[in-house]
């Protein structure tokens, strides 16, 4: 059995070795210069902070000179009140736990503009919500921005060498190139694949059936839990050719009900997987927020290890079966290595990947990355979709009317039906505008490999200089809510903005709307996601005519604080507590009740 080194240990060792340079230098000098012991010790102690201060000062002036050579300036800096901006670190850690997404950053953006420097414990990050800078990072200057070793380090214990944690090609002779990934996705899934399969597969209605049963018992339903099961089953069926059938497990009861305690003691394995899957994302997101501090908290143990054992206990048997199937095909002469383009009708997505490599760890990492992409992002968008339908009954009525006019109360939609439902697409776009699946792309930090410049939003200002090695963090959520991009009603939920004259704002600058990222790393499964979400909403609104939030059913500690109602924008409007790890979710779940549609109801 291979003993894994805790992820923090190597980073801490490198850090200590770097700090030892001045200490060792002075010790060596003591052999040539007679220095009293007390003075030697004092010099060694003082040398460490002096060495750090000298390096930081040199770095700053080197960057200022480099910016001048580029005819640029450094972005404005946000400074806290304490040494090394320690108070800013504490503030943002508290905001993550107890605040609304964007708190802290919104105020700084209002003061300094859409782009600023933030140095916490001397670790500098450029933070932006500017569409033109995001365009440079993702598209026009894409080759100059990579994920980089720092990002990959804190993600590695979960994402490994998978697509979300790798640059263009994974640095391994057994790796899967991004081109192979694109070919595999293209061959295995068309924009019609989910709808075609779902129209013939009545198991896709399992979630709705379970919801009806629980509502008939008189209990509210946690829609977030329900839809997470639906998307997990859909994702595993798409990737592996077999569903994990998490929807077969009983739905959770409201936390304060008597039935809830008994249910927690008898959680099914699929439920354990879902919880472990969520916890590992929380852990690696926390590492990202802590910057280079996180290794010091994981010197002796890997905080993701226990949860990854649960995740791997589901993935590894599936991978073993796929590899065994590939070996049997090869020995029978039915396949050759690296036949990525060779598609068989009954192949799964995993079968395609096995043609690229038989390295189990590489396959494991890619599949886990795609599970996050295929499950969590879609589940989050559908959760917030139901939230907005509960909040705005008039929008629900209009959406349901479009659905019933197109497919009636019973018929399953096909691809053409979904394509023709313009208001449904506008509704989903508006959900993803206000609550994009990945609201803060600290998970997609790219570390500049060469000094570069990015556009200054001030037409009279010099470009912003970004030094080599600087992480650039961009917030799609904050960009999607900028009134200078979307109008004064940017915080209002209104799907019509994608149908009326306001669409000109988007057409003038498509990079103000990035629910699926952009450029070479744009989400390859966006059409699959649109179709999956559309199909589910159509079937849901064929079965239910109205819905309401049931906040009294969830843990009071997970509800938004009452004082939020005094704030402007969505923070003062929303009746739920949005949070994010790698992806956005509703704190405490999304507890709702729904009214079943009458047979004669035509909306």
Task: With cut-offs at 50, 70 and 90, classify the pLDDT of residue 600.
Answer: low
* Residue showing tokens 């414990």: 121
Q: Please report how the helices 305-331 and 360-371 are oriented relative to each other, as an axis angle in degrees rounded to 10.
A: 120
Distance (Å, whole) CA 60 – CA 66: 10
Residue 569 gets which letter from DSSP? S
Task: With cut-offs at 50, 70 and 90, classify the pLDDT of residue 136.
Answer: very high
pLDDT digits (tens, 9 = 90+) for 72-83: 999 999 999 998
Statement: residue 409 has pLDDT above 80: yes
Q: Would you state the pLDDT for residue 340?
A: 52
Strand residue runs (E) in 407-522: 446-448, 452-454, 464-466, 471-474
Statement: residue 576 has pLDDT above 90: yes
Distance (Å, whole) CA 469 – CA 313: 37
Statement: residue 322 has pLDDT above 50: yes
Winning range, highest mean pLDDT, from 28-42, 327-341, 556-570:
556-570
Distance (Å, whole) CA 414 – CA 436: 26
Statement: residue 171 has pLDDT above 50: no
Statement: residue 52 has pLDDT above 50: yes
pLDDT digits (tens, 9 = 90+) for 110-128: 999 999 999 988 888 999 9
Q: Would you state the pLDDT for residue 358?
A: 82
Distance (Å, whole) CA 527 – CA 525: 6
Residue 330 tokens read as 């090869």
Over the chain, what is the mean pLDDT? 85
Residue 211 tokens read as 């919801």
The mean-pLDDT minimum among 36-40, 128-132, 570-574, 586-590 falls in: 36-40
Q: Is 523 annotated as a binding residue?
A: yes
- CB 335, CB 348: distance < 8 Å: no
Distance (Å, whole) CA 96 – CA 104: 10
Statement: residue 335 has pLDDT above 70: no
Residue 490 tokens read as 């940017």
125 in a structural domain: no
Q: What is the mean pLDDT of residues 157-174?
A: 67
**CB-based contacts of 586: which residues, under 8 Å, 6+ apart?**
224, 383, 384, 387, 576, 577, 578, 579
Q: Would you state the pLDDT for residue 234?
A: 86
Task: With cut-offs at 50, 70 and 90, classify the pLDDT of residue 1.
Answer: very low
Task: With cut-offs at 50, 70 and 90, classify the pLDDT of residue 65.
Answer: very high
Distance (Å, whole) CA 524 – CA 193: 14
Residue 377 domain boundaries: 149-596
Indicate the length of the chain as a whole number.
603
- CB 352, CB 187: distance < 8 Å: yes
Winning range, highest mean pLDDT, from 2-6, 43-47, 201-205, 332-336:
43-47
The mean-pLDDT minimum among 252-261, 287-296, 549-558 falls in: 252-261
What does each C-alpha distance from 411 to 199, 538, 547, 580, 599 come to in angstroms? 9, 10, 22, 36, 13
Strands 471-474 and 123-128: parallel
Give me the phi and psi of 69, to 5 degrees please: -65, -35
Residue 497 tokens read as 């903005």
Strand partners, 579: 585
596 three-class SS: strand
Q: Where are the alpha helices (DSSP H) in 443-482?
A: 476-480
Q: What is the mean pLDDT of residues 559-565?
A: 95
Structural domains of the chain, count = 1
pLDDT digits (tens, 9 = 90+) for 416-450: 999 999 999 999 999 999 999 988 875 334 556 67
193 in a structural domain: yes
546 in a structural domain: yes
Contacts of residues 20-24 at CB distance under 8 Å and 24 or more positions apart, as own/partner, are: 21/51, 22/47, 22/48, 22/50, 22/51, 23/47, 23/48
Strand partners, 465: 453
pLDDT digits (tens, 9 = 90+) for 282-298: 898 888 888 878 888 88
High-pLDDT (> 70) share of the chain, %: 86
Residue 375 gets which letter from DSSP? I
Statement: residue 172 has pLDDT above 50: no
Q: What is the mean pLDDT of residues 451-467?
A: 91
Strand partners, 381: none
Q: Would you state the pLDDT for residue 444?
A: 38
CB count within 10 Å of CB 90 equals 13
Q: What is the mean pLDDT of residues 183-201?
A: 52
Q: What is the mean pLDDT of residues 369-388?
A: 89
Burial 222-231 (b: 16+ CB within 10 A, else e): bbbbbbbbbb
52 in a structural domain: no
- CB 471, CB 151: distance < 8 Å: yes
Distance (Å, whole) CA 418 – CA 529: 12
CB count within 10 Å of CB 187 equals 16
Q: What is the mean pLDDT of residues 103-111?
A: 94
30 in a structural domain: no
The angle formed by the CA atoms of residues 224, 227 and 228, to the nearest 5 degrees, is 80
Strands 452-454 and 464-466: antiparallel
Winning range, highest mean pLDDT, from 46-60, 251-265, 534-548:
534-548
Instruction: Decide: residue 65, CB within 10 A, 0-12 exposed, 13-18 middle, 19+ buried.
Output: exposed
**CATH classification at residue 375:** 1.10.630.10
397 in a structural domain: yes
Strand partners, 35: none
Residue 562 tokens read as 């009452």
Residue 315 gets which letter from DSSP? H
Record the pTM.
0.88
425 in a structural domain: yes
The mean-pLDDT minimum among 45-49, 186-190, 356-360 falls in: 186-190
The angle formed by the CA atoms of residues 570, 85 and 130, to the nearest 5 degrees, is 45
Q: Would you state the pLDDT for residue 440?
A: 81
Give me the phi and psi of 350, to 5 degrees please: -65, -35
pLDDT digits (tens, 9 = 90+) for 383-396: 999 999 999 999 99
358 in a structural domain: yes
Q: Would you state the pLDDT for residue 235?
A: 85
Winning range, highest mean pLDDT, from 36-40, 203-207, 584-588:
584-588
């Amino acid at each position: 059995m291979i003993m894994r080194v805790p992820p923090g240990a190597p980073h801490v060792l490198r850090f200590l070795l770097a700090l030892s340079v001045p200490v060792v230098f002075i010790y060596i000098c003591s052999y040539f210069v007679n220095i009293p012991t007390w003075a030697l010790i004092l010099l060694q102690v003082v040398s460490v902070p002096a060495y750090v201060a000298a390096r930081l000062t040199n770095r700053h002036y080197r960057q200022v000179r480099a910016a001048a050579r580029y005819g640029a300036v450094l972005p404005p800096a946000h400074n806290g009140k304490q040494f090394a901006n320690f108070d800013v670190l504490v503030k943002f850690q508290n905001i993550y736990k107890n605040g609304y997404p964007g708190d802290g950053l919104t105020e700084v953006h209002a003061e300094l503009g859409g782009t600023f420097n933030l140095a916490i414990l001397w670790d500098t990050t450029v933070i932006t919500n500017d569409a033109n800078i995001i365009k440079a990072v993702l598209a026009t200057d894409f080759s100059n921005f990579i994920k980089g070793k720092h990002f990959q380090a804190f993600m590695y214990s979960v994402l490994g060498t998978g697509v979300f944690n790798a640059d263009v090609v994974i640095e391994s002779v057994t790796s899967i190139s991004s081109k192979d990934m694109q070919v595999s996705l293209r061959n295995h899934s068309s924009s019609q694949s989910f709808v075609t399969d779902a129209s013939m597969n009545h198991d896709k209605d399992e979630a709705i059936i379970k919801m009806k049963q629980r509502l008939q018992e008189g209990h509210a339903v946690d829609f977030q839990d329900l839809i997470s099961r639906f998307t997990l089953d859909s994702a595993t069926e798409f990737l592996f050719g077999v569903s994990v059938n998490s929807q077969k497990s009983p739905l959770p009861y409201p936390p304060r009900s008597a039935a809830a305690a008994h249910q927690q003691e008898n959680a099914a394995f699929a439920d354990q997987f879902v919880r472990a899957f969520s916890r590992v994302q929380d852990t690696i997101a926390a590492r990202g927020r802590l910057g280079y501090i996180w290794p010091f908290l994981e010197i002796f143990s890997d905080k993701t290890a226990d949860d990854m054992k649960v995740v791997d206990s589901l993935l590894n048997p599936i991978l073993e079966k796929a590899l065994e199937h590939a070996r049997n095909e090869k020995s029978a002469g039915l396949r050759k290595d690296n036949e990525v383009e060779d598609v068989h009708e009954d192949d799964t997505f995993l079968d395609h990947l096995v043609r690229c490599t038989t390295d189990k760890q590489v396959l494991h990492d890619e599949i886990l990355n795609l599970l996050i992409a295929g499950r969590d992002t879609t589940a989050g968008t559908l959760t917030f979709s139901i939230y907005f339908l509960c909040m705005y009954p008039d929008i629900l009525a209009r959406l349901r009317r479009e659905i019933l006019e197109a497919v009636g109360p019973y018929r399953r939609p096909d691809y053409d039906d979904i394509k023709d439902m313009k208001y449904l697409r506008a509704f989903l776009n508006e959900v993803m505008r206000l609550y994009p699946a990945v609201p803060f792309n600290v998970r997609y930090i790219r570390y500049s490999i060469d000094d570069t410049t990015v556009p200054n939003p001030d037409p009279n200002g010099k470009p912003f200089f970004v030094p080599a090695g600087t992480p650039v963090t961009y917030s799609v959520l904050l960009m999607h809510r900028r009134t200078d991009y979307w109008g004064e009603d940017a915080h209002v939920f209104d799907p019509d903005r994608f149908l009326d004259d306001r669409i000109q704002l988007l057409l003038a600058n498509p990079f103000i709307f990035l629910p699926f990222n952009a450029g070479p790393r744009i989400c390859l499964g966006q059409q699959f996601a649109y179709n999956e979400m559309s199909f589910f909403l159509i079937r849901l609104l064929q079965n239910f005519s109205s819905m309401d939030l049931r906040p009294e059913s969830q843990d009071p500690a997970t509800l938004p604080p009452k004082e939020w109602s005094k704030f402007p924008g969505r923070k003062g409007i929303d009746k739920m507590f949005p949070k994010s790890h790698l992806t956005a979710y509703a704190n405490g779940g999304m507890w709702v009740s729904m009214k079943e549609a009458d047979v004669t109801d035509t909306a």
